[in-house]
């Protein structure tokens, strides 16, 4: 049965997935690139990178995924909805290569990009967005791509089967926090923590058998 997965979602020790303020110049606010440095060092990210533990975790981001769902804050800086020409951060060939659903209260027409990515814009609930994405993904899994608010909403709605967080050794103090409103995830998930030589700690949450929500 296809799964709903989160991969490579980086947070600070205090749980922030992005700093503030977020802008076109600083997509992650005062966090800068520090949350994601671990990934830049991997072969997954660039030729010549490490093929160690971080690469093994990172690579799964791309395996077996048939669609992505992301929040409006991942697709563009605050106010992108006012720019009819905004097509995301990623240039003409975005790294998704599947149908990609952007949750926004101001949907627009689909954007077909190079390399198999088509952005669809939805103003709907997590449950309904997931049903649409799963239909498009067929036998493959759906990735929840972030940001922190979107990941948190899907986890809170008990829709996520596999959650991979990467805790970077910094304290941001402010921004968008992954944990707010979540509690007792250890009841639903087996949680594993493993620190990497790069300094980050990989946290994986694997849904326990028998805890899946019964499909409606």
Residue from 73, 117, 150, 167 touching a copy of itself (CB under 8 A): that is: 167
Residue 172 found at the interface with a copy of itself (CB under 8 A)? yes
Residue 39 found at the interface with a copy of itself (CB under 8 A)? no
Residue 112 found at the interface with a copy of itself (CB under 8 A)? no
Residue 169 found at the interface with a copy of itself (CB under 8 A)? yes
Residue 138 found at the interface with a copy of itself (CB under 8 A)? no
Q: Which residues inside 181-210 make contact with a copy of itself, applying CB under 8 A? A: 181-186, 191-195, 199-201, 203
**Residue 210 burial (C-beta neighbours within 10 Å; 0-12, 13-18, 19+):** exposed
**How do beta strands 65-71 and 99-103 pair?**
parallel
Residue 31 found at the interface with a copy of itself (CB under 8 A)? no
Write out 14-71 in H/E/C secondary structure: CCEEECCCCCCCCCCHHHCCCCCHHHHCECCCCCCCECCHHHHHHHHHHCCEEEEEEE
Name which of 69, 35, 26 is nearest 166 in CA terms.
Answer: 35
Q: DSSP secondary structure string, 157-172?
A: TT--SEEEEEEES---
Measured from the CB atom, the residue of 63 and 194 that comes closer to a copy of itself is 194
Helices (H) and strands (E) in the chain, counts: 6, 11
Least spacing, CB of residue 180 vs a copy of itself, in Å: 9
Of the candidate spans 49-57, 74-82, 132-140, 174-182, the one that interacts with a copy of itself by CB under 8 A turns out to be 174-182
Catalog residues that contact a copy of itself under the rule CB under 8 A: 13-15, 167, 169-174, 179, 181-186, 191-195, 199-201, 203
């Amino acid at each position: 049965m296809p799964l709903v997965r989160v991969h490579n979602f980086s947070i600070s020790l205090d749980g922030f997935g992005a700093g503030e303020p977020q802008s076109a110049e600083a997509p992650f606010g005062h966090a800068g690139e520090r949350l994601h440095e671990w990934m830049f060092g991997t072969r997954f990210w660039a030729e010549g990178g490490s093929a160690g533990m971080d690469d093994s975790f990172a690579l799964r981001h791309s395996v077996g995924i048939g669609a992505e769902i992301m929040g409006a804050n991942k697709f563009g800086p605050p106010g992108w909805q006012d720019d009819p020409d905004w097509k995301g951060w990623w240039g003409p060939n975005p790294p998704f290569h599947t149908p990609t659903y952007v949750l926004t209260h101001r949907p627009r027409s689909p954007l077909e990009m190079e390399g198999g990515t088509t952005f669809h814009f939805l103003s709907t609930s997590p449950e309904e967005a997931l049903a649409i994405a799963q239909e498009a993904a067929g036998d493959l899994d759906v990735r929840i791509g972030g940001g922190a608010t979107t990941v948190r909403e899907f986890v809170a709605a008990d829709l996520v089967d596999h959650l991979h967080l990467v805790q970077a050794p910094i304290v941001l103090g402010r921004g968008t926090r992954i944990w707010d409103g979540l509690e007792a995830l250890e009841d639903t998930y087996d949680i594993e923590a493993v620190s990497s030589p790069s300094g980050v700690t990989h946290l994986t949450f694997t849904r326990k058998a028998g805890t899946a929500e019964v499909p409606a």
